[in-house]
A and B are shown apart, each in its own frame.
Chain A
């Protein structure tokens, strides 16, 4: 039932990366979204990025995807510098952004069509539909799908290219709590089955603890890495275990502390 992973997973690395954007209110000023950020993910690792909104998490992901390029510093996948988007790095947004004019099957096939390999790999599409539990919906259009189903299609669409790294920008952020927990298990199952390197941006600390090997906590304006916490809990993790809860408390305190500090600085 598991689709065999083609290539191996790849490591991801940012080295001293800075990125700024023009300020919306003042064309001459620039907002620093990221400042001297260095981060590396081992091949096959699942890392979460947590931080207040506007801390540059999404920017970081877009740099790794190759959709933006850094002002300074370098970004690598394996030993290759990242210059442009590529099929070896999958990306899933909070908004599933399915192509509404394609059916579920058409959406999942999109990556194969884009790379002109649909002919050889058509049979894999069915496997991916099964993998994310959408067998009966091949011919449904996206506007018929619930949020959770749409996000599964988006995951399958990203996975069909056998990416060596998967970049997830709050993929479960718009789902209700129950769907969300179920989808966390699904993503974990996919990760364990395929061994893909995953970088997960999230607002949800429980989600970060439940899923990741490491949690990277970022601070706001300019975005910087505050702290990295390794999660040594055994899988499958118990959300109500005391170690889980203690970690949760620690991280909340960390984020809270960061919030207090910034207020003190201002005054």
Chain B
């Protein structure tokens, strides 16, 4: 009975967060006040600096950033009393307030360096106000680019994962396939997918199709490699036990070797995801005429660096969201490994 109870908590909170929350069980009043105020204070400082610095700038360009900072400050102040009643919000803020405050101060510093002291050359390093302005004014195109990137990424990644799992299972399980497949994998796999771009553009009728194929290739290699090694390293005793239970080949492969290889497979999926981001952006920059990669090079062509930064921010949010989703999937799938994995 204890196992199921003890586990429920661990399900919802990642281990790191949990251990931190445990170290701060009942914060004393001073610490609690600090939690309440640090972030609000940092935002207030950023706002004050912004108002002071932006006096020299045209009001139209800086207004949205002013509104943004005011809104954040309002939220910070409003949620401060709310967290007294709402314990999960309190825990989250207890854990996050140093980071949130640091982000606010970093924005502040960025503004001081750029539009305040003008230490960095324009137009390459716009102020945060300018970046926000670009983000808002170009939102339709940015949204459209993100959408195209998402479609391309998902189709390429899915294709690569499916191909990688199939070839990984075959190479890992069957020694004749391993004999012939491993050299191919070892020779062709390490070539960066982006190096195939010139060839892909010649072969494929459409840039989008060739980009998806390249992303798939980039994902295929790590997924195949790690699936194959996971399958071939399945503990012999699992297979022996399964055989004495009357298991046939299908059971041995799909219900013993594959589950045993899943921790490895996830490492491959993460490596493949990183490779797919890289390939996506490069393919969009070079060949495909849409997506975030294309947007960045297009904005750079017009020397609109505010838009370049805006696209970088979108990319950071976009890619890290996808990465986080894969982590969530892994935590769900690898529940049985709770306490074993830590990365």
Residues in chain A within 8 A of chain B (CB atoms): 62, 65-67, 84-87, 89-91, 93, 95, 97, 99-103, 110-111, 113-115, 136-137, 139-144, 157-158, 161, 167
Are B251 and A113 neighbours in the complex by a CB distance under 8 Å? yes
Q: What residues on B are CB-neighbors of A84 within 8 Å?
A: 243
* Given A113-B251, A141-B3, A97 contacting B335 (CB threshold 8 A): no
How far is it, in angstroms, between the C-alpha of A113 and the C-alpha of B4 when the chains are bound? 24
Give 1 or 0 for each of B113-126: 1 = CB within 8 Å of chain A CB: 00000000000000
Minimum Cβ distance to chain B for residue A90 (Å): 6
Q: A136-B1, A137-B3 are in contact. Are A143 and B242 (CB under 8 A)?
A: no
Tell me how many residue pairs across A and B have CB atoms closer than 8 Å.
88
Q: Is the CB of A100 within 8 A of B337?
A: yes
Tell whether, in the assembled complex, residue B241 and residue A114 are in contact, meaning their CB atoms are under 8 Å apart: no
Determine, out of B148-156, B254-262, B273-281, the stretch whose residues face the partner at the interface: B254-262
- B242 to chain A: which residues have CB within 8 Å? 110, 114
Q: Which of B18-26, B86-94, B166-174, B232-240 faces chain A? A: B232-240
Is the beta-carbon distance between A101 and B262 smaller than 8 angstroms? yes
Task: Name B residues whose Cβ lies closer than 8 Å to a Cβ of A.
Answer: 1-4, 235, 237-238, 240-248, 251, 255-256, 259-260, 262, 335-340
| Assembled-state Cα–Cα distance A67/B3 (Å) | 35
Contact of B3 among A87, A102, A144 (CB under 8 A): A144
Give 22 CB contacts A-B under 8 Å. Answer: A67-B244, A85-B240, A85-B243, A85-B244, A86-B246, A87-B244, A89-B244, A90-B244, A97-B237, A99-B256, A100-B337, A101-B259, A101-B262, A102-B259, A111-B245, A136-B1, A140-B4, A141-B3, A142-B336, A144-B2, A158-B245, A161-B245
* Cβ 8 A contact of B241, one of A62, A93, A141: A93
Known contacts A65-B244, A100-B337; decide if A139 and B4 are in contact (CB<8 Å). yes
Closest CB in chain A relative to B227 CB, distance in Å: 15
CB pair B241 A97 closer than 8 Å: yes
Most A CB atoms within 10 A — which of B238, B241, B339? B241
Closest to B333 in A: A101
CB of B248 to closest CB in A, whole Å:
7
- CB of A157 within 8 A of CB of B237, answer no
**Whole-angstrom CA separation of A47 from B246 in the bound complex:** 24
Our pick among A100, A101, A114, A137 for the contact of B246 (Cβ within 8 Å) is: A114
Choice from B4, B238, B240, B340 contacting A143 with Cβ under 8 Å: B340
Residue of A whose beta carbon sits closest to that of B2: A144
Q: How far is the CA of A63 from the CA of B4 in the complex (A)?
A: 40
Q: Do residues A143 and B336 form an inter-chain contact, with CB atoms below 8 A? A: yes
With both chains docked as a complex, state the minimum distance between the C-beta of B28 and any C-beta of chain A, in angstroms. 36
A118, B1: Cα distance in complex, Å: 26
Q: CB-CB < 8 A to B245: which residues of A?
A: 87, 90, 110-111, 114-115, 157-158, 161
Is B335 touching A91 in the complex (CB atoms < 8 A)?
no
Q: A67-B243, A93-B240, A99-B256 are in contact. List 6 more A-B contacts (CB 8 A).
A: A66-B243, A101-B260, A110-B245, A111-B245, A113-B255, A158-B245
* Chain A residue nearest in CB terms to B258: A101
A91 to B240: give the CA distance in the assembly, Å. Answer: 9
User: Chain B's nearest CB lies how many Å from the CB of A140?
Assistant: 4
- Chain B residues with CB below 8 A from A139, complex form: 4
Given contacts A99-B256, A101-B262, contact A158 B244 (CB under 8 A): yes
Which residues of A are found within 8 Å of B339, using beta-carbon distances? 143
CB neighbours (8 Å) of B262 from chain A are 101
Cα A136 to Cα B262 with chains together (Å):
28
How far, in whole Å, are A65 and B3 apart by their CA atoms in the complex? 34
- Contacting pair B251 A101 (CB below 8 A): no
- Nearest CB of A to B240, in Å: 5
Q: Min CB distance, A8 to chain B, in Å?
A: 18
Bound-complex Cα distance A153 to B162 (A)? 35
Candidate in B235, B247, B335 with the most chain A CB atoms within 10 angstroms: B247
Which A residues touch B336, using CB under 8 A? 100-103, 141-143
